Structure 1
Amino acid sequence: MKKSSKTERKEQLHVLLRLLSYTKPHVKTIIFAFALLLIATIGDILGPILVKIFIDDYLRPGNLVFGPLVTLATAYLGIHIINVIVSYIQLVKFQEIALKIIQAMRVDVFTKVQSLGLKYFDKTPAGSIVSRVTNDTEAIKEMFVTVLVTFIQSSFLMGGILVAMFILNVKLALFCLLILPILYFIIRTYRQLSSKFYLDLRERLSQLNAKLSESLQGMGIIQVFRQEKRLRKEFEEINEKHYHAGMKNIRVDGLLLRPAIDLVYIGALILVLSFFGISSFNSPIEIGVLYAFINYLDRFFEPVNNLMAQLSLYQQAIVSASRVFGLLDETELAPVQMGNAGSIQAGEIEFKNVTFSYDGKRDVLKNISFTAKPGETVALVGHTGSGKSSIINLMMRFYEFERGEILIDGKSIKEYQEGELRRKIGLVLQDPFLFFGTVKDNIRLHNKELSVEEIEEAARFVQAHHFIEKLEGGMNHPVVERGSTFSSGQRQLIAFARTIAANPKILVLDEATANIDTETEEAIQTALAKMREGRTTIAIAHRLSTIQDANLILVLHQGEIVERGTHQELLAQTGLYHKMYLLQNGSVEKYVDVIS
């Protein structure tokens, strides 16, 4: 449904008031800056009055007395010098406030992103989020840095000029007030049109960022499958829509900003000159008053033009702020922890009839029940999409579930504090993520207080020290973004060392050895055997050879546990696990015989 203009105005006002709420911590500085702004405005208004006095009282009558003229010139020069100093200080103060506000806002947005649940990231492109944190906050910064200062300064100056006009000539000042409704109509029309165009413009920019981010992350795949032309065409299409949205806005700017205001200014100038021309038939004209009025009129339209020019940035800021506040108001948060269950001691895990759906429509897990005791390894196997990763996601509290229970040491997983869960559960993924920094920084990621000796011990434990010692700088070897200069196996070993350094009670291994060569895997399996001692281990595996010694193997199919038992017990059942085992061991003919 299309929003009415009244609704849009209310929403824009709400966004503006919310933006202004960020000024509360800086009230004293703002008052000081306002006081300076008032002084600067008074200085701007007094200048033409002093010139008017010089013309009417001294120049036109030929009364060129040295003393008063020196006093008048000194006052005029002094006002301008003071005005320059005061304007500089107030400008610096307003800029300082603006930068502090944006600094606080960016921290708020980044903090909010950190608190969002994975369900939000599943449906929102990363580039779109980046656009809100960077581009949109930058647009808001421009509003605080230039727009609001210009609005306030222009309002002060326009108000002061109107007062000065009434002091000089009440009748003519009343005539000049007729231009205010016309200016209001132009401003209102511009805001209504530009807000729509800027919203479209920002959305297209967000799509450009999303497409760029996706392309950078998948550059290897793009080049392998020679999809450069297709991606370029998609990017060009989005860029073309961004161009058209920008052109619509440019046309509105070109019509309603300077040209329209200049037309009103010319009309006002004709009005003033006509007034003095008609008045000259009945009484002599005060040249000083004429000069002052024309000067004030010019000065009146200067802030109007400045204000109109800033309306463009204002609309961008309001649209950007609405997008940022939309992110700040996002309700798709990470699951809430009640936080009264104490600490995890043994690490026993129990799933009780857990049913889960990502979209609320199709269940990806159905009545999952099993128990993993301390020191035991429970392996999850099954075809792609069977629900293995979903079990891990729920246990790690990446997603909220409503049906069934997950218990650790007999207490609901929802009752543990988030910090306790993260400390006591160690997660190693198939594609480990390394952060920019050093090898040492990545191993002690969870605890910056770890000593060098503890970090080296963790690396030796998982057999990672062999390749780390060969690196230039060893533990201080630089890691680029995502660890792209390391092999898959090396990244995995660093991830293992990182997990071991945390000394968790529960291990979660999501295809943790999938990217490691056979020789390295043997060393890792030895390390994993030591890691599992006294710990509860949940392992997802596609290669059945890596989990043959598991205490319990759960075979999942379409979100349900269809088989359970040890390796030998499952082979004896000649069911789905048996078929998978025959297929992976190259016995295709036997597999065909079995499934037929």
Structure 2
Amino acid sequence: MQHKDKVLTAKDQKKVFRRLLSYTKKHKGLLIIAFLLLLLGTSAEIMGPILIKIFIDDYLTPRIFDTTAIITLTIVYLGLHVGSVICNYVQLFLFHKVALSIIREIRMDVFSKVQRLGLSFFDRTPAGGLVSRITNDTEAVKELYVTVLATFVQNFIFLIGIFVAMFYLNPQLAFFCLFLLPLIYIVMKTYRKYSSRFYADMSERLSQLNGKLNESIQGMTIIQIFRQEKRMRTEFEDINDQHQQAWLKNMKLDGLLLRPAVDFIAIVALMIVLSYFSIISLNSPVEIGVLYAFVNYLDRFFEPVNQLMMRLSLFQQAIVSAGRVFTLVDHDELAPEKIGSAHPKMKEGEVEFHNVSFSYDGKTEVLKDISFTVKKGQTLALVGHTGSGKSSIVNVLMRFYPLQKGEVYIDGQRLEAYSNEELRQNVGLVLQDPFMYTGDIASNIRLHNEMITDEEVVEAARFVHADSFIQQLQGGYHAPVAERGSTLSSGQRQLLSFARTMALKPKILVLDEATASVDTETEESIQDALYRMREGRTTIAIAHRLSTIKDADEILVLHQGEIVERGNHQQLLEKEGLYHKMYLLQQGGAEVIPL
């Protein structure tokens, strides 16, 4: 079931914002330079109306045309404008550079965390939702740094400069204009309160869209075979409509509280300024330059306010998205790790399960009091009907999930004592449906392990009889492999997974239905490879086809998470129990007997 994020409260949003700002600590130098340039550019831009005011009141109105003074004012005005353009360009570039660096860090943080999460998290979290957080949500956070923060800082400094200039021109009127700030604050606070809910809903719907899209693409074969196109379209359309409705709600809020509300306040401010100068003109003359400068500053005041309000939409979306990203980064459901300060090394690969019980959800036990021992060179086979617990034993041994009850030992050391590196390097796992990466044949065998040479890659492929089909491919070991190995047959993918495992030379070999995807002809050749692979190694094999495990040293028959029979092939047949019934059924020599 997909986790649904809570709506961030005002307190939560402040925490998220402070956490986002903490990423700027590594970039103090560039930010200081950017701020200094921002101050210079803003100061130069604010000085423009004052120079025009001087020109109007000191030269134009009294008809004093001092050529030298006017040319000086013109040069200074143009110089300030050019300087402002240069400063703003450089500071904007520096802000963007810092922003992109921070987003790169955040994306690496969240991707690294996903790599360390336990499989139990992925069991209930749709892949599309995770992709949405790593891509869409971090992209929204990028807008915060690239567009919003730089704009907020620039406009905030600009507003301060405008008020300084207003107080310089007319302190009394500037003081009256200060009363506009609480009105703007109320509009912004109201917007943030409601938009956070809408953006959280939009992000959730987008995650569901990505999840449904990922599910559709991965299962396209089944969708087309069973003619599920109409149902998938209906489900996708339903989520898409919900996403649209969430967007429409926020658009209505934007249309009401962003520009229209600020424009109304701007009209009120203009009325105050004009009324003030009208009243003054009744008793004394009004300086046209001062009036021009005030009206100009008011216009310049509300333009950044409008920009702030428009960016507030992006800011709110970024905060919500950042909250979703940090929720994933802070998720504590990590993959099981090594416990203890000891650093044991695997030498023989002897495996022992002692009274192991296991549950995925903490309620229903899928393994109940499992005990067995497999020594070096021996093969233990696990058989049983679907859901009997075979794969769960492998999951426990590979430490994909934390163990709740009992103990697992390797070479007499508890499983928890081994580091992940030691465990993964010495336990080779071959799954029923092997995963192939985009690349070439050699890289899929080597898995970018530079310790494995080209000669060892070829040797491993020959060992499992994969070399013959590889040589027939155009490019041989450098033949391209499409996503998930779609251009290869299931048998070829399985052979490559065998070669991948043997290239590591593991001490313990785990085969999970390893021959299920291999045709009969290929299976005959691979059985020889499996026999040689098992020599000198501890082998645990899950099998549905009982004919493939006749030579196992011990066979465990599982039923509903318990070991109901154990022994070799001949001993189990003589018991005429569950194994005997399964064997006869596969041989076609007996009726199906209800269990």
TM range (shorter): over 0.9
Separation of aligned partners in 1, 2:114 and 2:546: 38
Separation of aligned partners in 2, 1:162 and 1:494: 71
Q: CA deviation at 1:453?
A: 1.3
User: Secondary structure of the equivalent of 2:9?
Assistant: helix
Which residue number corresponds to residue 372 of structure 1? Answer: 374
Q: Is the 8 A contact 2:116 2:334 kept in 1?
A: yes
User: Secondary structure of the equivalent of 1:350?
Assistant: strand
Q: Is the 8 A contact 2:543 2:549 kept in 1?
A: yes
Which residue number corresponds to residue 543 of structure 2? Answer: 541
Separation of aligned partners in 2, 1:394 and 1:163: 69
Q: CA deviation at 1:519?
A: 1.2
Q: Is the 8 A contact 2:344 2:413 kept in 1?
A: no
Which residue number corresponds to residue 475 of structure 1? Answer: 477
Structure 1 residue 419 and structure 2 residue 421: aligned? yes
Deviation digits for residues 36-87 of structure 1 (CA, Å, limit 9, x no counterpart): 0000110111000000000011100111100111111110000001111111
Q: CA deviation at 1:488?
A: 0.4
Q: Is the 8 A contact 2:359 2:404 kept in 1?
A: no
User: Secondary structure of the equivalent of 1:354?
Assistant: strand
User: Secondary structure of the equivalent of 2:566?
Assistant: strand
Separation of aligned partners in 2, 1:498 and 1:336: 24
Which residue number corresponds to residue 290 of structure 1? Answer: 291
Query: Mapping of 1:161-560 within 5 angstroms?
Result: 161-338=162-339, 340-445=342-447, 447-560=449-562
Q: CA deviation at 1:451?
A: 1.9
Alignment TM-score, normalising by the size of structure 2: 0.98
Deviation digits for residues 469-506 of structure 1 (CA, Å, limit 9, x no counterpart): 00000000000110011000000000000001010000
Separation of aligned partners in 2, 1:420 and 1:381: 28
Which residue number corresponds to residue 80 of structure 2? Answer: 79
Separation of aligned partners in 1, 2:74 and 2:533: 88
Query: Mapping of 1:114-129 within 5 angstroms?
Result: 114-129=115-130
Q: Is the 8 A contact 1:446 1:502 kept in 2?
A: no
Q: CA deviation at 1:341?
A: 3.6
Deviation digits for residues 6-30 of structure 1 (CA, Å, limit 9, x no counterpart): x811100000000111111001110
User: Secondary structure of the equivalent of 1:556?
Assistant: strand
User: Secondary structure of the equivalent of 1:469?
Assistant: helix
User: Secondary structure of the equivalent of 1:333?
Assistant: coil
Q: CA deviation at 1:143?
A: 0.6
Structure 1 residue 8 and structure 2 residue 12: aligned? no
Which residue number corresponds to residue 18 of structure 1? Answer: 19
Q: CA deviation at 1:4?
A: 12
Q: CA deviation at 1:336?
A: 1.3
Q: Is the 8 A contact 1:447 1:502 kept in 2?
A: no
Pairwise CA RMSD of aligned residues? Answer: 1.3
Separation of aligned partners in 2, 1:48 and 1:476: 68
Q: CA deviation at 1:439?
A: 0.2
Structure 1 residue 582 and structure 2 residue 584: aligned? yes
Q: CA deviation at 1:226?
A: 0.2
Deviation digits for residues 405-461 of structure 1 (CA, Å, limit 9, x no counterpart): 000000001000100000000000000001000000001116223222111111100
Separation of aligned partners in 2, 1:163 and 1:83: 18
Q: Is the 8 A contact 1:340 1:417 kept in 2?
A: no
Separation of aligned partners in 2, 1:102 and 1:448: 30
Paired residue type of 2:394: I
Separation of aligned partners in 2, 1:341 and 1:476: 38
Deviation digits for residues 297-346 of structure 1 (CA, Å, limit 9, x no counterpart): 00000110000000010011000000000000111100011262421000
Deviation digits for residues 148-174 of structure 1 (CA, Å, limit 9, x no counterpart): 001000100001101111111011001
Paired residue type of 1:390: S
Which residue number corresponds to residue 30 of structure 1? Answer: 31
Tell me: CA distance 1:582–1:240, structure 2 relative to 1, closer, same or farther (3 Å). same
Deviation digits for residues 215-267 of structure 1 (CA, Å, limit 9, x no counterpart): 00000000000000000000000000001000000000011111111111011
Separation of aligned partners in 1, 2:16 and 2:589: 66
Separation of aligned partners in 2, 1:442 and 1:336: 26
**Contiguous gaps of at least 5 residues in structure 2:** none
Which residue number corresponds to residue 154 of structure 2? Answer: 153
Paired residue type of 1:309: M
Paired residue type of 1:409: D
Which residue number corresponds to residue 45 of structure 1? Answer: 46
Query: Mapping of 1:46-125 within 5 angstroms?
Result: 46-125=47-126
Separation of aligned partners in 1, 2:525 and 2:76: 88
Q: CA deviation at 1:522?
A: 1.0
Separation of aligned partners in 2, 1:8 and 1:455: 55
* Identity over aligned pairs, percent: 62
Separation of aligned partners in 1, 2:515 and 2:24: 53
Aligned length: 590
User: Secondary structure of the equivalent of 2:435?
Assistant: coil
Q: Is the 8 A contact 1:341 1:411 kept in 2?
A: no
Paired residue type of 1:380: L
Separation of aligned partners in 1, 2:448 and 2:419: 16
Q: Is the 8 A contact 2:391 2:542 kept in 1?
A: yes
Paired residue type of 1:431: D
Separation of aligned partners in 1, 2:138 and 2:449: 32
Alignment TM-score, normalising by the size of structure 1: 0.98
User: Secondary structure of the equivalent of 2:355?
Assistant: strand
Q: Is the 8 A contact 1:337 1:416 kept in 2?
A: yes
Separation of aligned partners in 2, 1:581 and 1:235: 45
Deviation digits for residues 552-583 of structure 1 (CA, Å, limit 9, x no counterpart): 10000001111100000011111111111011
Deviation digits for residues 365-415 of structure 1 (CA, Å, limit 9, x no counterpart): 110000010000000000000000000001001000121000000000100
Q: Is the 8 A contact 1:379 1:540 kept in 2?
A: yes
Separation of aligned partners in 1, 2:152 and 2:474: 57
Deviation digits for residues 121-143 of structure 1 (CA, Å, limit 9, x no counterpart): 00100000000000000000011
Separation of aligned partners in 2, 1:22 and 1:8: 22
Deviation digits for residues 96-148 of structure 1 (CA, Å, limit 9, x no counterpart): 00000000110111100000000000010000000000000000001100000
Separation of aligned partners in 2, 1:191 and 1:343: 56
Paired residue type of 2:395: N
Paired residue type of 1:349: V
Paired residue type of 1:96: K
Separation of aligned partners in 1, 2:139 and 2:445: 35
